[in-house]
Structures are given as C-alpha cells and as structure tokens.
C-alpha cells in the first residue's frame, strides 16, 4: 500500500459527479503528476484529499490511517499541505515577513515547543526568522527576502507560495498548477526546486499541471482524469502513448 491511498473516492454536487470512484496509490518520495482537461475533477480531488471538501463516498488513507473527511487543520498537522492555483500572499509585506507569518500560523508542534522553550521573546523571534530564511533558501528566493511580495514577478510569487506551504513541514505537498503563468525559464527553475524538495527533504509531491513538457520531464508517474474518471496511469512514456489520453487531452 502506498503512502497515500484513495479508494473509490467520490464527490457529487447535486446530480453532477465531479470525482467518480477514484482509486490511487502514491508511494513515499514519489513525484506524481495529475493531468486532464479543464473541469475533469483534478482540483476537486485535491480538495477531497486536503479536507477542503467532504467526499460523498470512498476513503482517503494516509500512512495507514483513515483521514477521510477530517478537517483541513487536522490533515495539515498530519503532514499533508496544499497550494492553490491563485497565490495567497500578504502583498504589502516583504517576502521574508510572509514566510515568518506562515511559520507562526502553521508550524508543527515541535517547532512551537522550541519557541516556547526560548529564553526570551527576542530568542523566539530569532528562531522563527531563521526558519523562514531557511525556507526561502530552499525555495530558491532568499535573495529577494526584503522585496515586497506584491511587487514580485509572477514566478517568484509562486515560489513564495511554496515556501509558505513548507512552513508546515509537510510530508506530502499538493501543488495545484504551480507553473501557471510562468515562462519556460521560471518553470524549469520551479521544477528543479520541486525535485530538490523530494531529493533533499524527502517530501512526496503530488502536482496538478497543464505544462505537459514539465510534467513529462519531471514526474515519476502520471495519473490522467477526464470527466471525473481516471482514464490512465503510468510512466510519462506510457501515458503519452495512451490513445484515450491523446484523444481526451493531448489532441490528435
């Protein structure tokens, strides 16, 4: 059984079946891509895994524990964090300040215990700032720590969004279209960062992405959805040759 396991996961909105009995296994340390046409159910699937929506049926199992329908904050505490298609930043604050606030709001209990164990308020603030700087460095944007978040180019804003998500010290990171609006150079840098998170921090990555070149070049395995149904799964090579995928998504 994989680190994350979905069994017959289903979501209905009235008469619409947005996610139709999805089975999925993701192994620890994997970079898994999720692709499909707009409206195929990809973001809804992320919402079910991360607790933003309750499923109509089926189950979500994380490291052997059933977390189906748990609230988002409990899922985050257990090591699953997600980003969104739209960046959520405090635009009138610096890059560093954004991550510092994320550390205050979202860091795991062990981190808070270290803060509360500090000898003074100043020492606690130093611990938080060091953690924030480390996260900025990990995301490759420590060189712009003093820039206002709202003035950053789009690619840097996306990277900052990831750095803020890393404040939760996730074991599984769900990235919803992280390369949206990026140029090829920005996308390549982002994908290097994603691989670094997996290779050096052991974070499992599950990403929705429309940039097929980036997905094919960087994912270990790809799952394809269409009309809420999983229509294919396999290596990038297998998926790219699948006739149903070509017809539904890539175009003939």
**pLDDT of residue 63 exceeding 50:** yes
* Cα–Cα dist 34/95, whole Å: 29
Summarised one tens digit per residue, pLDDT across range 208-251 is: 998 889 999 999 999 999 999 999 999 999 998 999 888 876 56
- Per this entry, what is the length of the chain? 252
Which range, of 109-113, 182-186, 197-201, 242-246, averages the lowest pLDDT? 109-113
Q: Whole-angstrom Cα distance, residue 164 to residue 152?
A: 15
pLDDT value of position 215:
93
Phi and psi (nearest 5°) for 96? -65, -45
pTM: 0.87
The pLDDT of residue 124 is: 66
Return the SS3 of 20: strand
Q: Using the predicted structure, report yes or no on whether residue 132 has a pLDDT greater than 80.
A: yes
8: left (phi over 0), alpha (psi -120 to 50) or beta: left
For the chain, which residues make up each domain, given as ranges? 1-79+170-252, 89-168
| CATH 2.60.40.1260 corresponds to the domain 1-79+170-252 | no
Which one is predicted more confidently, 121 or 231? 231
Q: Please say if the pLDDT value at position 109 is more than 50.
A: no
**What DSSP line would sit under 132-190, residue for residue?**
HHHHHHHTT-GGGTTSBGGGS-HHHHHHHHHHHHGGG--SEEEEESTTTT--HHHHHHH
- Mean pLDDT (the chain, rounded): 88
User: Which pLDDT does position 248 carry in this prediction?
Assistant: 77
- 37-55: per-residue pLDDT in tens? 888 999 999 999 999 999 9
Per-residue pLDDT at 128 exceeds 60: yes
pLDDT of 84 reads: 76
3-state secondary structure of 14: coil
Helix (H, G, I), strand (E, B) or coil at 218: helix
């Amino acid at each position: 059984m994989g680190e994350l396991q979905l069994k017959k996961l289903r979501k209905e909105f009235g008469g619409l079946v947005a996610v139709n009995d999805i089975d999925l296994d993701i192994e620890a340390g994997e970079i898994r891509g999720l692709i499909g046409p707009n409206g195929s159910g990809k973001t809804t699937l992320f919402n079910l895994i991360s607790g933003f929506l309750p499923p109509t049926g089926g189950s979500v199992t994380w490291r052997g524990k059933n977390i189906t329908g748990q609230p988002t904050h409990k899922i985050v505490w257990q090591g699953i964090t997600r980003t969104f298609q739209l960046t959520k930043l405090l635009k009138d604050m610096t890059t560093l300040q954004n991550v510092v606030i994320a550390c205050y709001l979202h860091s795991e209990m062990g981190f808070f215990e270290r803060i509360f164990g500090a000898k003074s308020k100043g020492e606690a603030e130093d611990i938080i700032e060091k953690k924030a700087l480390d996260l900025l460095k990990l995301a490759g944007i420590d060189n712009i720590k003093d820039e206002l978040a709202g003035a950053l180019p789009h690619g840097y804003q996306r990277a900052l969004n990831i750095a803020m998500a890393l404040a939760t010290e996730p074991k599984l990171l769900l990235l919803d279209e992280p390369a949206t609006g990026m140029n090829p150079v920005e996308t390549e840098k982002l994908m290097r960062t994603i691989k670094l998170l997996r290779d050096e921090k052991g974070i499992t990555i599950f990403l929705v992405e429309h940039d097929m070149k980036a997905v094919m070049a960087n994912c270990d395995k790809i799952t394809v959805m269409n009309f809420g149904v999983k229509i294919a799964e396999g290596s990038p090579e297998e998926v790219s040759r699948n006739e149903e995928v070509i017809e539904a998504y890539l175009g003939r």
